[in-house]
Amino acid sequence: MARYNISDPRYGKPFSWITVPITVDGKIKAYFVVLEAVDKIDYFDQFALRTGFLLIQELYEQLLVARSAVDSDFEKFVKNLLEGRLDREENITSAANEISIKVNEKYYVLVMEQSNESIILAGLYDLLKNSIRGEFFHNYCRVSYLGNNKCLFLVRMDETLSEKQNADSIKEKCLNLKKRLELKVPGIRLAFGLSDKRDFVYGMKRNHHRAEQAIRIGRLLYPKEEIWTYSQLGAFGWLDIKDDEISLMLRSINLITESEEHKELVRTLKAYLECKMNYSLTAQKLFVHINTVRKRIEEITGMLNLDLDDPMNRLKVEILLELFF
């Protein structure tokens, strides 16, 4: 317990107040404050205050238990949904209603991933919860762990903002959350994937996949960024491409473009694909002889070990060239 005194010329005499910390599991969660406006607290007052304090302490513990139970219910809901035990719209809606998720509202799904193997995100429960509440205070947000180093956020759409403004707001909050956690947990490495396609709660599983895809493909396409959105992926969002395929293709093309001589090969390949693999039209577009086009295409496909007769391979290369060259 601590007593504080203050003097103010606006009042006839100094007044004081006492503070008593409310602790749960050895941690201070709040303070019980009593203002001594007229006289100091005497022995008989202390008995009444002690009784009041114990009642507030017990109430606070019950509130924390209830909040923990709500978080636990949401994690159970997420697990059942992602593992397919909730697969029908009416079942999902009913389960969401039971844990106070507003089923008539639309939501965004955000995934946060921690990649430093020496840190376990699940072990930072209290710190993480407090940091999240500090950033998403004005938005409805529910959080669930997905394993030891990943979290799912269900963020309610702000009806007063456009879709782009909602996405920008969530990205800004992610950056602030990242800074908060980096200050408190040295070495933590965080990445975020946002499914910026708002939907009702029964679309949550699909949007979770999109958010995971945003991280998985986004870090390959845009390695300098730490927050990726699903819409940012373009066609790569719906193509079923393995991580190592994109990485290898990008690495090969980047190595080729480091040489001025090879840059001409990449330019020819891009024009060739734009001309629907027509040698004659490509030659006209580049103002070179048709045999030059043939030779360049043969050379670059050999260097990249690329089969342009495979429509999927062709599409992947077209998208990579369009995005980066």
Residue 7, pLDDT score: 60
User: Which residues lie closer than 8 Å to 96 by C-beta, 6 or more apart?
Assistant: 77, 103, 201, 202
User: Residue 92's pLDDT is what?
Assistant: 95
What pLDDT band is residue 170 in, cutting at 50, 70 and 90? very high
Q: What is the pLDDT of residue 63?
A: 59
pLDDT tens for each residue of 256-302: 666 666 778 888 988 998 898 999 999 999 999 999 999 999 988 88
Mean pLDDT of the residues in the chain? 82
Residue 2 three-state SS: strand
Residue 24 confidence class, pLDDT cut points 50, 70, 90: low
Model confidence at 66: pLDDT above 50: no
Q: What is the DSSP letter of 152?
A: E
Tens of pLDDT, residue by residue over 92-147, are: 999 999 988 989 999 999 999 999 999 999 888 888 888 888 787 645 789 999 98
Q: What is the pLDDT of residues 184-239, one digit of tens each?
A: 999 999 999 999 999 999 999 999 999 999 998 888 778 889 999 999 887 777 76
Alpha helices in the chain (DSSP H): 43-82, 89-98, 125-135, 163-184, 204-221, 243-257, 260-274, 279-286, 290-304, 311-324
User: Considering the entire predicted model, what is its pTM?
Assistant: 0.64
